[in-house]
Structure 1
Amino acid sequence: MSSGLLQQRCSGADMNPPKRPRTADSGAETGKEERNTVDVSIILPVYNASCWLDECLQAILQQDFTGSMELSVFDDASTDDSRKVVESWKERLETRGISVVISGHSSAQPRGVGYAKNKAVSQSCGKYLCFQDADDIMLPERVCLQYEVSLLHPNSLIGCRVQRFPEGSTERYTRWINTVSQDQLITQVYTSHGPTVIMPTWFCSRNWFLKVGPFDEGGKGVPEDLLFFYQSLRLGGGLSRVDQCLLIYRYHEKATTHSVTEETIWKLRVEFLQERVLSQWESFTIWNAGKQGRKLYRCLSPTNQKKVKAFCDVDENKIQKGFYTYEESKERPKPKIPVLHYKDASAPFIICVKLDMTGGVMEENLNSLLLKEGIDFYHFN
């Protein structure tokens, strides 16, 4: 695929913005003190991304941001010519007024995306950080619009809407990314989709990153974005989104997100749910008496298991059984939790039915109860 993808997506935009003269603080060799005036550092971890880098870097070149920018690249032991591709863009970027810092390592194995992001951040000097994946393409307005929001919300993670490529990839996930409301950015942080402000769109102040971070450097299989995201919320950080598509978000089988297991994500979500929500409730109902609801119950702490007053469902077979017996329990007698029709159950609820999977039936049933998300219920799946 050629740079035509960006041209096609951004038709009507100024694809050749005027060049800004290179100043003393725009070169990669400039001293750290002088480079401290940079407004935004684009943080670009790279690992075997040579086939995507031309489009990625062309899009950075075409940003319409009028402040000062820096590109900070860390190559995590690529075995292709990623480093060479990045270096071939250095002169063009610096001529455009974007300073470039490139480093990396050539160990036998990559250290992981968390490590690469941390290194790229530590060698950068922008007051604000724009995180960019090497396989994605930012639209010309991205840095400008997210920077403006970050100035108003310096202790927040700022996201944006995305266009998935190839078109039609992960339709439910993409729809959720783009339609979740501002309030739901907070209330839906326990769902299986992961961070409500997705990592490829993150923009934040350096000060906030330093307070929350660094990223976990556990390597392959570690959800460094979700760990950082939850820690940001623990520290009182906010979440916001520019309600405009500012990123072409590429889907492919080699993406690092595929190395993180569902079980790892599940455990983190349960832990955070118990910490932030269940610890505040005296009792609650689990909406779903099936596999997912029972799994959640089994993963709860003994204290929170005792708070489960019922399961609720629409399946008459489950309801007719009358209760769920926790067979693995060491208690005697074994706990038996009632199974009710959702209309007979009482709030608050933890909803263990996946969003956008029942043709709107679950959502209609939930809406019929006139409950408030974030007070009367939270989505978990």
Structure 2
Amino acid sequence: MTSVPPDPTFGGEEESICLPKRPRMEECEAETGDTRRTTVDVSVIIPVHNASCWLEECLQAVLNQDFTGSLELSVYDDASTDASRAVLESWKEKFEAKAVSMVISGHHSAQPRGVGYAKNQAIRQSSGRYLCFQDADDVMLSQRVSLQYAAALLQPHALIGCGVRRVPEGSTERYTRWINSITPEQLLTQVYTSHGPTVIMPTWFCSRDWFCQVGPFDEGGKGVPEDLLFFYQSLRQGGGVARVEQCMLVYRYHEQAATHSVLEETIWKLRVDFLQERVLSQWESFTIWNAGKQGRKLYRSLSPANQKKVRAFCDVDENKIQKGFYTYQDSKERPKPRIPVLHYREASSPFIICVKLDMTEGVLENNLKSLQLTEGVDYYHFN
């Protein structure tokens, strides 16, 4: 068992050095190349900030893994002000008895440096060839490491997720259903939706080599969607996305979760930029499915070049269709752009769908099916 002392750079309240938001990739690669750093099969990576009320259950679940390879737990405490550090230290003997190495470090500055920073630090001090990401408020089931490790061996350049069970029961019902029901093909086609990464961060498992090629995580701190930024960068570099179908994680919902601090507009901009980069740059023209608020917002968020590619809006609302056009009043062009509004059956593919999934009692899904379109070719979901 190893307790790593805090880096003196981050040890006190007077610390004033500014670090880059994204540490150099070469640092990660250099550590990976160090034979001392790759002696364990899997490192479980846990960032911690004021998680004392959940840690006992989380740590016990790591000890309950049925994985037969070598396992390590690497924890970084990001300026907790509760009993988190004491709880972590109290588990050393239990991990030692199970021959699971445990590395603990952290800092005690006045302010936490954020999830991205804590994850990067936990990874740097770890030694596993594969990384299993775990949030301190969640609980992994006993087969998680073994099943995801087997999947990662077959797909070393992929982010591997798994099914989840949400607690409290019934919280974020639509989101949870989407996490567990999305098809293997949709893991790649639905990366532009507001749900975020198609395999959620608390279920990620990947090789250290792939992490170092893509990462590290953005260290911008509170409000930065470090998981979505990493996920998109992984896709840019040709990374795969896969999921172990079984439920392998109890995924806890609570108001203190870091995800609640991320601004909706930040996520929106990232999604729009990635959509333009990966999809719209390949299309000569397209239709926005939804002439209402969300469809118009997407149009206004597009670059001028991509706005010119919008041949029409389409909808099922007769009131919107009867108006005939959407006029972009904020445009500096003269005359102002007027985009036709059509019934969806009169519109032409490809489409960007700006209607929320699983919100129309199947009407949207049936309409798409009636047109015999192929997701990822004829349309992409954005909302």
Using structure 2 for the length normalisation, give the TM-score. 0.91
Shift of the alpha carbon at 1:29?
7.5
Which of 25, 28, 37 is residue 2 of structure 2 equivalent to?
A: 28
1:74 is aligned to 76
Which of 131, 136, 144 is residue 142 of structure 1 equivalent to?
A: 144
Distance in 1 (CA, whole Å) between partners of 2:95 and 2:218 is 30
Shift of the alpha carbon at 1:36?
2.9
Distance 1:176 1:213, change over 3 A: same
2:24 is aligned to none
Q: Give the counterpart letter for 1:51 in structure 2.
A: C
Q: Give the counterpart letter for 1:352 in structure 2.
A: C
Shift of the alpha carbon at 1:34?
5.3
- Between the two proteins, the alignment pairs up a number of residues equal to 354
Which of 183, 194, 214 is residue 196 of structure 2 equivalent to?
A: 194
Distance in 2 (CA, whole Å) between partners of 1:198 and 1:36 is 26
Q: Give the counterpart letter for 1:226 in structure 2.
A: L
Q: Give the counterpart letter for 1:323 in structure 2.
A: F
3-state SS of 2:374 partner: coil
2:382 is aligned to 380
Which of 99, 102, 106 is residue 101 of structure 2 equivalent to?
A: 99
Distance in 1 (CA, whole Å) between partners of 2:269 and 2:92 is 42
Using structure 1 for the length normalisation, give the TM-score. 0.92
For the aligned residue pairs, the C-alpha RMSD in angstroms reads 1.1
Does structure 1 residue 259 correspond to structure 2 residue 233? no
Equivalent runs, 1:202-351 vs 2, <5 Å: 202-351=204-353
Q: Give the counterpart letter for 1:140 in structure 2.
A: S
3-state SS of 1:39 partner: strand
2:166 is aligned to 164
Distance in 2 (CA, whole Å) between partners of 1:135 and 1:212 is 26
Shift of the alpha carbon at 1:91?
1.1
Shift of the alpha carbon at 1:111?
0.2
Q: Give the counterpart letter for 2:362 in structure 1.
A: G
Superposed CA deviations along residues 36-55 of structure 1, whole A, max 9, x for unmatched, are: 32000000000000000000
3-state SS of 1:71 partner: strand
Superposed CA deviations along residues 264-298 of structure 1, whole A, max 9, x for unmatched, are: 10000000000000000000000000000000000
Q: Are the equivalent residues in 1 in contact too, given 2:287–2:351 (CA < 8 A)?
A: yes
Distance in 1 (CA, whole Å) between partners of 2:36 and 2:261 is 40
Distance 1:306 1:96, change over 3 A: same
Does structure 1 residue 155 correspond to structure 2 residue 157? yes
Shift of the alpha carbon at 1:28?
2.8
Distance in 1 (CA, whole Å) between partners of 2:106 and 2:56 is 19
3-state SS of 2:95 partner: helix
Shift of the alpha carbon at 1:97?
1.3
Shift of the alpha carbon at 1:261?
1.1
Distance in 1 (CA, whole Å) between partners of 2:353 and 2:204 is 27
Runs of at least 5 residues in structure 1 that lack an aligned partner in the other structure: 1-26
Distance in 2 (CA, whole Å) between partners of 1:190 and 1:350 is 10
2:180 is aligned to 178
Superposed CA deviations along residues 84-129 of structure 1, whole A, max 9, x for unmatched, are: 1011111111210110000000000000000000000000010000
Does structure 1 residue 115 correspond to structure 2 residue 117? yes
Q: Give the counterpart letter for 1:251 in structure 2.
A: Y
Distance in 1 (CA, whole Å) between partners of 2:95 and 2:254 is 27
Distance in 2 (CA, whole Å) between partners of 1:328 and 1:367 is 35
Distance in 2 (CA, whole Å) between partners of 1:33 and 1:289 is 57
Distance in 1 (CA, whole Å) between partners of 2:258 and 2:51 is 12
Distance in 1 (CA, whole Å) between partners of 2:39 and 2:217 is 25
Shift of the alpha carbon at 1:357?
0.4
Superposed CA deviations along residues 328-364 of structure 1, whole A, max 9, x for unmatched, are: 0000110000000000001000000000001111111
Q: Give the counterpart letter for 2:157 in structure 1.
A: N
Identity of aligned residues (%): 77
Shift of the alpha carbon at 1:35?
6.1
Distance in 1 (CA, whole Å) between partners of 2:107 and 2:159 is 29
1:52 is aligned to 54
Distance in 2 (CA, whole Å) between partners of 1:33 and 1:99 is 17
3-state SS of 1:127 partner: strand
Superposed CA deviations along residues 146-188 of structure 1, whole A, max 9, x for unmatched, are: 0000000000000000000000010000000000000000000
